[in-house]
Chain A
Amino acid sequence: MSDPKTSSSANSLFTSLKFQRRAGIVIRWIIAVILIIFAVFPVLWIISAAFNPSSSLATQHLIPENASLANFRTLFNSDVFPFPLWMWNSIKVTSISTILALFVTTIAAFAFSRFRFSGRQNLMKIMLLFQVFPSLLSIVAIFYLINQVGDVIPFFGLDTHAGLILVYLGGAMSINIWLLKGFFDTIPRDIDESAMVDGATHWQIFTRLLFPLMRPMLVVVAILSFIGTFGDFILARILLRSTESYTLMVGLQIYTAGMFSQKWGVFAAGALLGALPIMIVYLVLQDQIIGGLTQGAVKG
């Protein structure tokens, strides 16, 4: 048996609040480290693979020996896999559809927020209903539709970026109109009423008054929809047919299909270049993006 005196002092030590707090923090840090390893390991691994000169999966170590830019050089000089072209296609298609979608939906959201007309509520509800079925579910029909459109106007047909942009636009309408209408509602109507008294038209109120006020929120919506469209795979995969027209996501998937382990390093370099811009945007604008997310959108 141990000395009762020391034992009781040990007891009081263990139960002391300060110790409990410290132990709690230490234990939570240990858990945090384990979780962080789980979260970050794949990313570290891909960075290491990108700089590892031997492009094979089997010979890779976490800290590459003789780190070099060989993979990036291969990436930019390959004739079979035109990586820079894919990147350009992605940026082009995503930018055009984001800007057009934002333009069209902002105007519509303004009208939903500011005008009162019969059928307004029902229209909003119907839009919400169709949001339940994302474009992903209609891939067969979308393929069929774009195929038919292309029979008459080849510019918007299969394997064209214009056709893909149309499909992205159609899918972006409902959710963006809802989101932006909510933002318009937060701007008090007194502002536009006083402008109305001064003889301003609806269009002037929209462009001169409300649009500048909305700009910060529009930036968040633009970034969210840019990220969503940039990451789209399936619509681009079924509509685009030739290597030159692929977007980055389709290109990377095609690149990795077959003989994956041999092309690992070059894929890693491409993945890193594709992921980095978006990762930086996310981490820098964390708080704004989280604000937009909790509106109920799930990452697509």
Chain B
Amino acid sequence: MNVTGSAKSTTPVAYILRLLSLLIIDGFLVWFGYRQALLGNYTLVVLLAIVGMFISAVFLFNRAYPLRWMAPGLALMIMFSVYPNFLTIYVGFTNYGDGHLLTKEQSIIQIEKARYLPEGGSAYTWTAFKSDAGEYALWLLDETGIGYLAFEGQPITQVQPGEMGVGELDSKGIPQSITGYQRLNALLAVADPNLGEIKFGADENIVQIQSPSRAAAYEQKYVYDPEQDAMIDQETGKIYFQVDGTFRTVDGKVIIPGYQAYIGIQNFKDFIVSPALRGPLVRIIVWNFIFPLLSVFLQFSLGLGIALLYNDPKFPGKRLVRSLLLIPYTIPSLITILIWRGMLNPEVGVINRMLSSLFGANPAWFADPWLAKFALIVVNLWLGYPYYMLVCSGALQSIPSEIYGAAKVDGTNIWQSFRFITLPLLLVSVGPLLLASYIYNFNNFNLIYLFLQGGPPISGAATRAGHTDIMISYVYNLAFEGGRGQNFGLAAAVTLLIFLVVIGISLIQFRYTRMWEEVSENV
């Protein structure tokens, strides 16, 4: 096949078709990017621009012909796999979370919707009507004597007698009847507990009763001033300057909602400075290193042991034993974890029923931190050993048997030949998988979360944290279990710590396995 992989001479029809499809794709991206820019989602706009340029280049230049085959795959990967990594870094330095969910643009729109009741604003005299169903209507007369009809949640409209069921007006300009409503006399109206609370009208134009004789229109409370980058309170004249994603006055008053903003290393400072955050986090990190270490060591040992015992071709029923021992591996892990949770249930689970009838023991698997950790390791052993059983029996078969023959001549015993021949040779091929498995278990969210949701809880923690939590489940708690408010920024900051650990282990893995050199040779 041609080595450069450039396109063959293209027909004009094919060329026009290509341009047309590029036009459609780019047109879509521009429209989508524009709408996102209006919402203030600038990180996404940058991503779309990059993807758009990439696709355009690939379509336009014939040199990029091979990339045309990869464009859909690479575009998907950039948008939904690579970009989220960078976005995590960005979010780690923002205050994104409860109270700061909106972009600045969205939050300004939201804040400018707030209304207040001015002392001297446009005022009306009012008369109340009430329906049998308990709904209220308000007849408003402005200073020039024009009548308006107002309902809760509907726009206030100027109404002539005869329209909308409004009857003839009396001498004061008040309708004598409105169909379906009874007129309340002034005394009843003033005594009514609900009436003063109701906001009549809708959208920008809202009227509320202020006094027995007066109803007033609401006015916009905050106006955004782009020059000062501040909100100005129309009622008090106070200026709210923006500080770290919140509009606040000099004396510390804030407007809700705030918006997403870059806040520097505040998230990192938070868990270093605050003892209530740091205490649990340190414990979680320590356990996060121990848990995968113990898990992988035990899984590997048991898997290897089984492989050594049953790798003998003469062993009767070898295939049956392997199939049965493989079973834990064949069930979606979520299901088996939930099954184990049911079996270990201290009150009614089968394991405690057996233990108490045999030994009279009733261990509190879910309440005691150490027992919970022990149970997790056992469950993870059950989940993970079949993988090593498979991998090790494959690797053992590739060790040439002559080596053992030579060792036997030299008089080594079984242990020595295992320790000095089998294990080192095995680790050459299985070692990288052990590291990959360590990383996998380092982030084994499913097991930790589904088994006990990280519990039992650590008392005195500032956010939800448990004795068996690892960092990724702690991140999940911070971000999505809104017991004390969702804090995406802090969650992303903790994720960055995980990134560092994963990068560190991966570097060892790449070095140890010379994967990089191998990749260079193979591709």
Contacts and interface: CB of A to CB of B under 8 A. Distances in A.
B356 to A, nearest CB: 13
Interface residues of A, number: 102
Nearest to B39: A151
Given A39-B325, A140-B88, A173-B73, A148 B44 contact: yes
A201 B76 contact: no
A279 B338 contact: no
Given A28-B310, A120-B523, A293-B390, A138 B84 contact: yes
Given A142-B84, A174-B81, A296 B432 contact: yes
Interface string B471-485: 010011001100000
Contacts of A98: none
A249 B81 contact: no
Interface in B486-523: 488, 491-492, 495, 498-499, 502-503, 506, 516, 519-520, 522-523
Contacts of B445: 136, 233-234
Contacts of A264: 342
B348 A261 contact: yes
A283 B330 contact: yes
Given A121-B520, A279-B330, A170 B70 contact: no
Contacts of B475: 139-140
B286 interface: no
A42 B514 CA distance: 41
B96 A144 contact: yes
A233 B88 contact: no
Given A42-B339, A139-B479, A151-B41, A174 B310 contact: no
A138 B394 contact: no
A196 B4 CA distance: 14
Given A45-B350, A56-B348, A115 B5 contact: yes
A124 to B, nearest CB: 5
Do most interface residues of chain B lie in helix, strand or loop, or is the interface mixed? helix
A231 interface: yes
B401 interface: no
Contacts of B242: none
B325 A130 contact: no
Contacts of A238: 476, 480
Nearest to A42: B339
Interface in A170-206: 170-171, 173-174, 177, 185, 189, 192-193, 196, 201-202, 205
Contacts of A275: 330-332, 335-336
Nearest to B502: A132
Contacts of A160: none
A127 B70 CA distance: 12
B469 to A, nearest CB: 15
Given A117-B4, A261-B347, A271 B39 contact: no
Contacts of B84: 135, 138, 141-142, 145, 170
Interface string B36-78: 1001010010000000000000000001011101101110110
B226 interface: no
A213 interface: no
Given A115-B5, A278-B330, A128 B519 contact: yes
A145 B342 contact: no
A169 B80 contact: yes
Contacts of B321: 32, 36
Interface size of B as a range: 35 or more
A69 interface: no
Do most interface residues of chain A lie in helix, strand or loop, or is the interface mixed? helix
Contacts of B439: 132
Interface string B180-216: 0000000000000000000000000000000000000
B499 A137 contact: yes
Given A278-B331, A293-B390, A130 B82 contact: yes
Given A192-B1, A293-B390, A144 B498 contact: no
A116 B3 contact: yes
Given A139-B475, A143-B479, A171 B80 contact: yes
B2 A141 contact: no
Contact of B327 (A39, A58, A111, A252): A39
Contacts of A133: 85, 499, 502
A294 interface: yes
Contact of B332 (A110, A230, A267): A230
A124 B523 contact: yes
B417 interface: no
Interface in A234-252: 234, 238, 249, 252
B340 interface: yes
Nearest to B83: A145
B348 A57 contact: yes
Contacts of B436: 296, 298
Interface stretch (A7-15, A70-78, A80-88, A101-109): A101-109
Contact of A145 (B44, B67, B326, B338): B44
A39 B349 CA distance: 18
A234 B336 CA distance: 16
A260 B345 contact: yes
A254 to B, nearest CB: 11
B2 A46 contact: no
A261 B345 contact: yes
B492 A137 contact: no
A42 B79 CA distance: 41
A42 B336 contact: yes
A233 to B, nearest CB: 5
A35 interface: yes
Contact of B32 (A39, A49, A153): A153
A253 B73 contact: no
Nearest to A43: B327
B467 interface: no
A180 B334 CA distance: 28
B1 A114 contact: yes
Nearest to B498: A137
B372 interface: no
Contacts of A202: 1
Interface string A23-60: 00100110110011011101101100100000011101
Contacts of A256: 338, 341-342
Contacts of B67: 111, 117
B423 interface: no
Interface in B288-335: 306, 309-310, 315-317, 321, 323-335
Nearest to B5: A115
Contacts of A252: 334-335, 338
29 contacts: A28-B310, A36-B324, A39-B386, A42-B343, A112-B523, A114-B1, A115-B1, A115-B66, A120-B66, A121-B523, A130-B81, A132-B503, A135-B84, A136-B443, A137-B502, A138-B85, A140-B488, A140-B495, A152-B35, A166-B80, A170-B76, A170-B84, A233-B450, A249-B335, A256-B342, A260-B341, A267-B342, A278-B330, A283-B330
Task: Enumerate the 7 nearest inter-chain pairs by beta-carbon distance, A residue then B residue, closest first.
Answer: A170-B80, A115-B5, A111-B69, A138-B84, A282-B330, A141-B87, A231-B332
Interface of B: 1-5, 8, 32, 35-36, 39, 41, 44, 63, 65-67, 69-70, 72-74, 76-77, 79-85, 87-88, 91, 96, 306, 309-310, 315-317, 321, 323-336, 338-343, 345, 347-350, 382, 386-387, 390-391, 394, 432-433, 436-437, 439-440, 443, 445-446, 449-450, 472, 475-476, 479-480, 488, 491-492, 495, 498-499, 502-503, 506, 516, 519-520, 522-523
